[in-house]
Amino acid sequence: MTMLFGRLARHRLAIALSAATLLVGISSASAQSVIKWLHLEANPDRLAVWQDIAAQYEAEHPDVKIEFQFLENEAFKAKLPTLLQSSEAPSMFYTWGGGVLKAQTQTGALRDLTEAMDADGGAWRSTFSPAAVDGLSIDGKVWAAPFQWGQVSFFYNKALFEQAGVDASAITTWQDFLDAVQTLKDAGITPIAGGGGDKWPIHFYWSYLTMRELGKDGFAAAKNGGGFTGDGFVRASENLIELGALEPFQEGYLGATWPDTQAVFADGRAAMILGFQNTATPQIQAQAATDGEGLSGDQIGRFLFPLVEDAPGVITDEFGGLNGWVVTANAPPETEDFLKFYLSQDNARRLAAETSILPTTLGAEDGVVDPFMREIVTEMGGATWHQNYLDQDLGPNVGRVVNDMSVELVSGQISAEDAVQQIQDAFSLEM
């Protein structure tokens, strides 16, 4: 009998120990930090690189789990505001910056990254181009870790420039540019491929002209209450009217979509295009051209948007996209550490090489394979100001009016004063 009770006691002890072990295991699992990464990346190859980087981090930090969550682009925009206010809020998510990001910061749903950026003497901040960090900062606070960016610049057909006797290296001012447009027209060559149907390709001109006319401080003052009806905005609008009076675009440009516009340049039917950083890449040329090939790299040249004489804008003030990753208020504390790993120089270099981004991380430029793209990202590393697309920076409603006014200005349908007043009216509604 004593032996039986002994066996029962030992059995109960074993069960108790097993239960205790199970509870410890459950406790350990529940203590694991889960970083919910919300993204809208539909390219499986690019996503595979992200997942591999995440797996490396998990291997080095077994107490952290990174959970990928996908939403399609439009669903992302529609559902994110509700998600941020719910218990299902992601830990980090993709941002285009600008007005939408500013509105999100006012909800209390985001975590200010300034302290993390500036810890240890600014160790994390110093890994990025200053212009990229500044572009995702609002009122001196950093609200997103910069990830990738782009630059809009002019690309030109070397053969058509040579045929017309135009020297691209001599185009440094807006007047130089207008003179080049006229010289191309006189030679019977369509100067510029234009996309008036989509409208936003024309807003590139108005955006750059306002940047050149006002400079960084002047543009910031306008956004901070000074308004968009000042002399600099009027002069920029007049400059765009002047360009339109030269009839620089292909016939039917007011109905042309962006793919139509790219095809005009890739086919050699226009001498220039004001386009994205990847305009001259073999992939884009092949996709755009009607012959499936387009122009080769050695047939294309590039120059930056010219300066306006006697205006404060400088050549290192750049315009283009800027994206980053936002951390939410209740995200695990490890989220910033993961972002430091994900955007480190080695990983940013890999992202550039394998996913064709232009990294904002300094020193990762050598990961960019295409020579045009590498030249651009190197320039951007030294940017004095990176202005995001205005439909992002000023918000979609104001951006829509900017797009409309840009087309109306270049096509001679509105005066400079009336155009900037309409932009100001739209902006006032957002204040």
Q: Indicate whether 371 belongs to any domain.
A: yes
Rounded alpha-carbon distances, angstroms, from residue 265 to 26, 245, 284: 62, 21, 11
Do 57 and 107 lie in one domain? The reply is yes
370: number of Cβ within 10 Å: 19
Is 233 in the same domain as 295? yes
167, β-bridge pairs: none
For residue 12, being part of any structural domain is answered with no
Cα(214)–Cα(192) distance, integer angstroms: 25
Predicted confidence at residue 430, as pLDDT, reads: 83
Record the tokens describing residue 315, joined without a space: 């050549």
- C-alpha–C-alpha distance, residues 179 and 192, integer Å: 13
Instruction: Check whether residue 315 and residue 327 sit in a common domain.
Output: no
Same domain, 187 and 228: yes
pLDDT tens series, the chain, 431 aa: 444 334 444 444 444 444 444 433 433 344 589 999 999 999 999 999 999 999 999 999 999 999 999 999 999 999 999 999 999 999 999 999 998 999 999 999 999 999 999 999 999 999 999 999 999 999 999 999 999 999 999 999 999 999 999 999 999 999 999 999 999 999 999 999 999 999 999 999 999 999 999 999 999 999 999 999 999 999 999 999 999 999 999 999 999 999 999 999 999 999 999 999 999 999 999 999 999 999 999 999 999 999 999 999 999 999 999 999 999 999 999 999 999 999 999 999 999 999 999 999 999 999 999 999 999 999 999 999 999 999 889 999 999 999 999 999 999 999 999 999 999 999 999 87
Question: What per-residue confidence (pLDDT) applies to 31?
Answer: 52
SS3 state of residue 178: helix
Both tokens assigned to 365: 């430029």
Report whether 194 contacts 249 (CB < 8 A): yes
Identity of the residue numbered 147: F
> What type of residue sits at position 16?
A
Backbone phi, then psi, for 363, in 5-degree steps?
A: 90, -5
In this structure, which amino acid lies at residue 205?
A: Y
Domain assignment of residue 204, yes or no: yes
Q: Which of 95, 98, 93 is nearest to 392 (CA)?
A: 98
CA distance 188 to 247: 12
123 and 159 within one domain: no
Nearest to 214 by CA among 380, 385, 429: 385
Are the C-beta atoms of residues 128 and 120 closer than 8 Å to each other? no
- Burial readout 317-337 (b: 16 or more C-beta within 10 A, e: otherwise): bbbbbbbbbbbbeebbebbbb
Q: What's residue 32's pLDDT?
A: 84
Final residue of a structural domain among 387, 403, 422 = 387
Same domain, 184 and 298: yes
Residue 116 sits in the same domain as residue 234: no
Q: What is the CATH number of the domain that holds 61?
A: 3.40.190.10
Say whether both 210 and 326 belong to one domain: no
Residue 217, domain member (yes or no): yes
Cα 353 to chain center, whole Å? 18
Residues with Cβ within 8 Å of 249's Cβ and at least 6 positions away in sequence, in order, are 190, 191, 192, 193, 194, 196, 270
Is 192 part of a structural domain of the chain? yes
Rounded CA separation 250/330 (Å): 52
Residue 285 lies in a domain: yes
User: Is the same domain home to 404 and 373?
Assistant: no
CA distance 354 to 47: 11
**Number of domains, the chain:** 2
Residues 38 and 104 in one domain: yes
User: pTM value?
Assistant: 0.89
| Helix H or strand E encompassing 70 | strand 64-70
Angle at 64 between CA 49 and CA 135, to 5 degrees: 60
Which stretches of 71-165 are assigned E, i.e. beta strand? Answer: 92-95, 137-138, 141-142, 145-149, 153-157
Using alpha carbons, list the distances in angstroms from residue 223 to 130, 416, 430: 20, 19, 11
256 domain residue, yes or no = yes
Whether 11 maps to a domain, the answer reads no
Domain that holds residue 114: 34-150+321-387
Please tell me whether residues 374 and 337 are part of one structural domain: yes
Q: What is the full DSSP assignment across 193-214?
A: ---TTTSHHHHHHHHHHHHHHH
Residues 262 and 375 in one domain: no
- Token pair recorded at residue 385: 């100001």
CA gyration radius for the chain?
26
